[in-house]
Chain A
Amino acid sequence: MIDTTLRIAPVTLRLRSPFRSVRAHVDLFYPDAIDTRRTGAFTDFDIHIARGAGMRAWLRPQAQFLLDHGEPFLPLPAAQAAALFEWGLNWCLATRPLGYLVIHAAVVAQDGDALVMPGVPGAGKSTLCAALTFLKGWRLLSDELAILEPETARLHPNPRPICLKNASIDIVGAFPGARLGPVYQDTRKGTVTHAAPPSQSRAMAEKTARCRWVVFPRYVPGAAPCCDEIGRAEAFVRIAEQSFNRDRMGETGFHALCAMLDEARCFEIAYDSTERALELIDAITG
């Protein structure tokens, strides 16, 4: 059982669920997000991870994602209730109009300088993001969502568990300081688990950052490492493709993305191991 208000920057949400796994998920990954003083605060999303009802509840227990009493997508098996919360929250941030341009990208920062890594699935951005966070001391803003505020052209952190898939689970599990949650078998994305963000990243959740580097990572087995600087126009087009709501943001979204790239340098890297990737990133940001 859980019924609580969580501050997960940049939003405040109410989370209710009868599932013990959801409670354990919050205790493990959001220990400092539960803020009792916030009862009565404005909530951006009212989320309920509920048990599926009807005959099916006995045959094949399911977990439903309810948002403000609507059900935006179909349920998942009950064993994936906590993962459903993570995916559902991504959906909320990507599709609910909040005035932010939301891009599918990992974001890490040093001081106020952010490195944005847009990624097609399978490009290795989550693993690389975890490596930068756990091995190189970068601050995690998000492994999935770059949240750009149009008025300031600054990126909002959304420090949540890093979603690891298949082979990356063992790689990241071996990083010093990485704490993994339960493993979910047979999800739509294969075998999945989450890594907790370091507490320093969570502590700085309200501190925005400025995009200084954009890197398009590409993991190519057996390839020689390479790094090419690309023009901002090309980067713009490729990031725009990775944006969830650029079309709905219209002109505001266009100008926001231009402003984000104004002071950024953009690169494309290919690598065959995490070590090579970290060397390339060092060279770019050093």
Chain B
Amino acid sequence: MRTTAPRRRVILAGLALASSVALLSACGTSSGSEGSGEEATSLGEMEGSVSILAWPGYVEDGTNDPTVDWVTPFEEETGCEVTSKSYGTSDEAFSLMKTGDYDVVAASGDASLRLVAAGDVAPVNTDLLKNYDGIFDFLKMQSWNSVDGVSYGIPHGYGANLLMYNTDVFPDGLTSWSAVFDDASANAGKVTAYDSPIYIADAAVYLMAHKPELGITNPYALDETQLAAAVDLLKAQRANIGEYWSDYLKEIQAFETGDSVVGTTWQVIQNSVTTGNTEVVLPEEGATGWSDTWMISSTAKSPNCAYAWLDYIASPEANAQATAYFGEAPSSQAACDFRDDCETYHAGDADYAAQIWYWSTPIAECLDGRTDVTCTDYSQWTTAWSEIKG
């Protein structure tokens, strides 16, 4: 009799454990790909709220700066109350979209295709967006915002990842990325870089100019040898890195205190540094950059408000405000009427836009059209990035 009780208890505990594991694992792997949905054909009533996932500075309602607010007019116009969350890297956006909590996302090219492939975003019927017509033609139906001729969103703005430097350390200015690669040791411990596997492409852009024998024609299409060369370059750079940044506030602070003196940056960071001793430049090698797309979640709870936001944020005035605040080129010529710095960003200059290597997800099928080799995909880049950081 004594032995049966504990045995029964063990069996019961085992059953409880097994059932809760089954429950949890069932939750963990429910696939999202069935829910990709059809594009809307007409719009219904506004739902009263919309939740937006975007890069910092894309959805400003005046809380950061009372004079910077393009959300309130939208809320008043449509009755859709906006809740927003900002993210630091495309990877973060990609995993946040998996929660299904967001109706709208502003995705860069290194996230957009993955979102489409994972079924997290729905096709967007651009006929329902009256501001779509005004958008620059070279931004429409590109490889990062459409798949097989189906549009998955509306372009927002584009820009380049710039080189920022401290003018006290570099009084003569800089023109080349070599300051963060081959000559980085001059400022060992004070070099900074973007903390994401996609930064490998920045090294590839540098190698395109300085090691032509590697034959890199697209920084997102690297075969094993080319990736190894980029990784070696970044490992050498790692010795001189003070810190990596993905939180843009951290980089602002690091440049203000002088803990970082040179590194990759966004225009919005330069705009936010208050000490006035930093400068940005688009180096001669060219740069990586982004072209962002507003996309709608395939499980959006408020699809009508989501369409309303897409249309609103593409309207010349709102687009001008948002892109000017972030420091990037707007998506339409009409937006330039509301901005005085369109020339700086070469807005509408298709040739200039073509020189930026827009973020794009590296995949095994080479993006540069090579068929004799397999390219390294994003998971290999991620592994490589962890190894570079060591």
Are A and B co-members of a single complex?
Answer: no
Give A contacts to B, CB under 8 Å: none
Residues of B participating in the A interface, judged by any CB pair closer than 8 Å = none
